Amino acid sequence: MMSNLKQNFAYARIFIPAIITITAFLLIVESFIFNFNSSQLVTAVILILLLDLAILYFLGQRRRSDLGIVKGVINQIRTNSFRSADEIKMGNDLNELEDEIKSMFMKTRSDIAHLKKLEQFRTEFLGNVSHELRTPIFAIQGYIETLLDGALNDETVNKIFLQKANNHTLNLNNLLNDLIDISMIESGQMQMSFRYFNIHEFLEQIINEIKPYAEKKNIELNFISSNHSLQLFGDKQRLKQVITNLTMNAIKYTNTGSVEVGVIDEGNLGKIFVRDTGIGISEKDISRIFERFYRVDKDRSREIGGTGLGLAIVKHIVEAHGSKIKVTSEFGKGSEFSFFLKK
């Protein structure tokens, strides 16, 4: 009881200057109006002081109870007692504060959920990376051990084994390069340098570099472009990575037929496309092929040196150009990947 009284007054401390000011003002006004003699003045002072004490007591009590509610809610948030924001109740007088605390609660919730998701992505990514690294390393180890165990002197297999081990080191190198790109993208360190360049010459040169791969697979690689002087805006080095990736994919995932790479002049944009008459991508896979490490057929992709990171990198670079990569595909008939660049 005593401590209650003391605490209520303690909470009222902040009102004391205001009460003193009002009291002094009232006394001065009253003594002017009523022309108090000294004993009347003492009585008036005592009465007003008693009234002040009562006011301070009630103000303190009120403030203490409000702050008590706030403290209680904060405490419950800290100890995770609320399952949803609706459970936070602070009464009518504090409803503005209640709304604020509710939105703070929801913001914290969604921040934490976001962080948890990121953490989960990271763990998943690390798991994938380790798995992808293990595959070629195990294979290389296997070939080397077999060679050391005697196959080295077996003319019918030694060269083949070395060749296979070498292929796996190439895969490993591709994987590391793609991982470096992905980590640069994630950390925002991928520097872009945008310039105007002749898209016709640019595509022609890339296609000439890739042609041997297509010929090896007996696939026609065609270049389609009508405007020889079309200038587009972008980062040539990064776009080369995009076109190379898309064209190599088109060749890799096509068994017979042709691959067409080209540019179409469309108003104030240039549309760049890579299409093939290949195996196509089913509806359910289309939405996932841009995910890191996602491949429709893991073994086939790995066998031909794929990392599953190509399209994730392509997507990022195209988006850094303010565009979006579009895919249309018919399962078993072929696919088209396209995006726009500004003129």
Ligand X SMILES: Nc1ncnc2c1ncn2[C@@H]1O[C@H](COP(=O)(O)OP(=O)(O)O)[C@@H](O)[C@H]1O
Interface residue with ligand X, options 60, 136, 234, 310 (CB under 6 A): 310
- Region near Mg ion per CB under 5 A, out of 140-148, 182-190, 242-250, 292-300: 242-250
140 vs 182 by CB, closer to ligand X: 182
- Region near Mg ion per CB under 5 A, out of 42-50, 121-129, 248-256, 260-268: 248-256
Nearest distance in Å: CB 203, ligand X:
17
DSSP H or E segment with residue 23 = helix 16-34
Interface residue with ligand X, options 73, 140, 206, 250 (CB under 6 A): 250
Beta carbons of 250 and 311 less than 8 angstroms apart: no
Please give the residues from 305 up to 334 whose contact with Mg ion meets the rule CB under 5 A.
Answer: 310
306 makes contact with ligand X (CB under 6 A) = yes
60 vs 334 by CB, closer to ligand X: 334
**Taking CB under 6 A as the rule, which mask of x and - marks residues 265-304 in contact with ligand X?**
-----------x-xxxx-------x----xxxx---x---
Beta carbons of 231 and 343 less than 8 angstroms apart: yes
Beta carbons of 76 and 82 less than 8 angstroms apart: yes
19 makes contact with ligand X (CB under 6 A) = no
- Region near ligand X per CB under 6 A, out of 92-100, 160-168, 234-242, 248-256: 248-256
Nearest distance in Å: CB 264, ligand X:
19
249 makes contact with Mg ion (CB under 5 A) = yes
141 vs 255 by CB, closer to ligand X: 255
Rounded-to-integer distance, Cα 296 and Cα 286, Å: 9
Binder of residue 171, out of ligand X, Mg ion, none (CB less than 5 to 8 A by kind):
none
Judged by DSSP in three states, 291 sits in coil
Q: Which two tokens stand for residue 199?
A: 């898209």
| CA 221 to centroid of chain Cα atoms | 37
Beta-bridged to residue 271, according to DSSP, are: 264, 340
Burial class (CB in 10 A: 0-12, 13-18, 19+), 12: buried
**Taking CB under 5 A as the rule, which mask of x and - marks residues 255-294 in contact with Mg ion?**
----------------------------------------
- Region near Mg ion per CB under 5 A, out of 64-72, 205-213, 216-224, 245-253: 245-253
Q: Which among 239, 168, 167, 163 is positioned nearest to 197, based on CA atoms? A: 239
Q: Within 10 A of 217 (CB to CB), how many other CB atoms are there?
A: 14
| CA 181 to centroid of chain Cα atoms | 16
232 vs 259 by CB, closer to ligand X: 259
Alpha-carbon distance values, 136 to 20, 167, 176, 309 (Å): 84, 9, 12, 16
Nearest distance in Å: CB 244, ligand X:
11
| Terminal-to-terminal C-alpha distance of the chain | 81
Burial class (CB in 10 A: 0-12, 13-18, 19+), 37: exposed
Beta carbons of 77 and 105 less than 8 angstroms apart: yes
Nearest distance in Å: CB 308, Mg ion:
8
Residues engaged in binding Mg ion (CB under 5 A): 249, 310
Residues engaged in binding ligand X (CB under 6 A): 245, 249-250, 253, 276, 278-281, 289, 294-297, 301, 306-311, 335
